[in-house]
């Protein structure tokens, strides 16, 4: 017999380049302790071609595990099950971010109106009576799936808008405002928990000459290339941003001065050895960067002190001949 938790995976197509197919794969989770009841719901779904994928669980505990580990779009759950029943699964779903936005349909033989009302108040999307009418169940599933798709599309659009509003349109790095907001939070965390925090200030050398000699299109391409090299080095907890013009700022969470200096040197060396082409592709552009590095110190009063220390180190790098990394030696 096929594993009930893997039902429908043979219909889940795979791309040789990206793994699972990128198109929306509508997934239904059926939770019921009676196999014949799961089979009846499955037949309705397959006969109406509502979902691409069906996964099943014979109890609430395994249902919750699937809900939190799989990309589930709609849940159909029996109310009366031994131990971890449908009502407990509903409550668990509502407190877990992974499943809180998933439509939850309760199937029950109970005619207790007060209990049905309580289920809806606690987050159930729908309550269907047993025995159910096939066409009615199919129509409700189609409606809830449509709503879920629209919610997912809206969430993606909102995330995209949020990203665009906090990102520099040319380089793709974060905006100055975003980085300084993050730094303010990290500064308070470092002060409270005595954790490590470092800041890098980088400025491209003789960038005005690049624009004057090769044109602004080439200058823009250089900025994108330098930003790309930075982005490849960043950890998920790090934040890199465009501070202004050709100046960039990096916030390194849980990173001491030595590791930050190593990070800066790797970035500097990557820029020095990279090949930057002119906009028309006719030649190469020499590019280098000077970087100042500072680390949080308890005597610092504000995030601006951390930036100022990195900025002073940056100017020392410029004065020392450019294309180098300097570490802050004073607050």
SS (H, E, C) 110-153: CCCHHHHHHHHHCCCCEEEECCCCHHHHHHHHHHHHHHHHHHHH
Check which CATH number belongs to the domain holding 152 and give it.
3.40.50.2300
Give the three-state DSSP class for 241: strand
Query: Are both 148 and 224 inside the same structural domain?
Result: no
Same domain, 126 and 241: no
Report the candidate in 57, 62, 108 with the shortest Cα–Cα distance to residue 87. Answer: 108
Give the DSSP per-residue string, 205-219.
TTHHHHHHHH-HHHH
pLDDT at residue 159 greater than cutoff 90 = no
| 105 & 232 share domain | no
54 lies in some domain: yes
CB atoms closer than 10 angstroms to residue 80 = 15
Domain end marker among 164, 186, 213: 164
User: How far apart are alpha carbons 241 and 127 in whole angstroms?
Assistant: 49
- Report the distance separating Cα 33 and Cα 213, nearest Å: 74
Comparing 330 with 256, the larger pLDDT belongs to: 256
Specify if 170 maps to a domain: no
User: Which tokens sit at 88?
Assistant: 């407990």
Are residues 273 and 301 part of one domain? yes
Query: Can you tell me the mean pLDDT for 6-16?
Result: 36
Please identify, among 119, 144, 164, the residue that sits at the C-terminal boundary of a domain.
164
Task: Please indicate, yes or no, if residue 169 is contained in any of the structural domains.
Answer: no
Q: Rounded CA gap, 13 and 73, in Å?
A: 18
Cα–Cα nearest to 310, from 235, 224, 227, 247: 247
> Are 300 and 189 contained in the same domain?
yes
Is 234 within a domain? yes
Q: Is 326 a catalytic residue?
A: no
pTM more than 0.75: no
Name the DSSP letter for residue 174. B
CA distances from residue 313 to 195, 298, 306, 325 in whole angstroms, order as listed:
22, 19, 11, 8
The CA–CA distances, whole Å, from 13 to 7, 42, 54, 79, 80 equal: 14, 20, 14, 33, 35
Whether 171 is covered by a domain: the verdict is no
The SS3 call for residue 327 is strand
142 token code pair: 């189609």
CATH code where residue 233 lies:
3.30.70.270
- Specify whether 160 is located in the same domain as 182: no
> Is the pLDDT reported for residue 4 higher than 60?
no
Q: Are residues 69 and 159 in the same domain?
A: yes
Residue 41 has pLDDT above 80, yes or no: yes
Asked whether residue 206 is domain-assigned, the answer is: yes
Catalytic residue of the set 56, 87, 186, 246 = 246
Q: Are residues 19 and 160 in the same domain?
A: yes
237 within domain boundaries: yes
Q: Which of 138, 164, 190 is the last residue of a domain?
A: 164
Q: pLDDT tens for residues 306-330?
A: 999 999 999 999 999 999 999 998 7
123-151: pLDDT as tens digits: 899 999 999 999 999 999 999 999 999 88
Pair 133, 46 in one domain: yes
Structural domain count, the chain: 2
Tens digits of residue pLDDT in 176-203: 999 999 999 999 999 999 999 999 999 9
What's the confidence (pLDDT) of residue 156?
A: 86
Is position 272 within any domain? yes
Tell me the average pLDDT across 284-293.
98
Q: Domain containing 151: what range?
A: 4-164
In percent, the amount of the chain with pLDDT more than 70 equals: 91
Examine the domain organization and report whether 159 and 249 are in the same domain: no
Joined tokens for residue 259? 């590791």
Residues 145 and 197 occupy one common structural domain = no
Show Cβ contacts of residue 135 under 8 Å, excluding neighbours closer than 6 positions: none
**One domain, residues 156 and 216:** no
Phi and psi, residue 313, nearest 5°: -65, -35
What is the residue whose two structure tokens read 């504000």? 302
Q: End-to-end alpha-carbon separation of the chain, Å?
A: 69
């Amino acid at each position: 017999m096929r594993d009930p938790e893997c039902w429908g995976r043979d219909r889940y197509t795979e791309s040789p380049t990206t793994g699972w197919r990128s198109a929306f794969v509508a997934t239904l989770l059926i939770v019921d302790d009676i196999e014949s009841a799961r089979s009846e719901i499955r037949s309705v779904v397959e006969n109406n071609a509502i979902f691409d994928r069906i996964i099943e669980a014979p109890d609430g505990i395994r249902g919750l595990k699937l809900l939190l580990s799989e990309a589930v779009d709609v849940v159909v759950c029996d109310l009366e099950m031994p131990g971890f029943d449908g009502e407990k699964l509903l409550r668990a779903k509502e407190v877990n971010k992974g499943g809180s936005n998933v439509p939850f349909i309760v199937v029950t033989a109970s005619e207790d109106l007060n209990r049905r009302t309580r289920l809806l108040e606690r987050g159930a999307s729908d309550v269907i009576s047993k025995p159910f009418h096939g066409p009615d169940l199919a129509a409700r599933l189609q409606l809830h799936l449509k709503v879920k798709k629209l919610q997912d599309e809206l969430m993606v659009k909102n995330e995209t808008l949020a990203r665009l509003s906090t990102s520099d349109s040319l380089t793709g790095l974060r905006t100055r405002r975003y980085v300084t907001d993050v730094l303010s939070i990290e500064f308070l965390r470092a002060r409270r928990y005595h954790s490590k925090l470092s800041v890098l200030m980088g400025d491209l050398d003789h960038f005005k000459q690049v624009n004057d000699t090769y044109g602004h299109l080439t200058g823009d391409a250089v900025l994108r290339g330098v930003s790309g090299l930075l982005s490849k080095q960043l950890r998920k907890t790090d934040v890199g941003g465009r501070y202004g013009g050709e100046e960039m700022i990096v916030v390194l969470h849980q990173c001491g001065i030595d590791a930050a200096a190593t990070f800066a040197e790797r970035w500097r060396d990557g820029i020095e050895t990279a090949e930057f082409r002119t906009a028309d592709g006719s030649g190469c552009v020499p590019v280098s960067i000077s970087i100042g590095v500072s680390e949080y110190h308890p005597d610092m009063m504000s995030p601006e002190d951390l930036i100022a220390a990195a900025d002073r180190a940056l100017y020392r790098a410029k004065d020392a001949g450019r294309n180098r990394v300097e570490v802050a030696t004073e607050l």
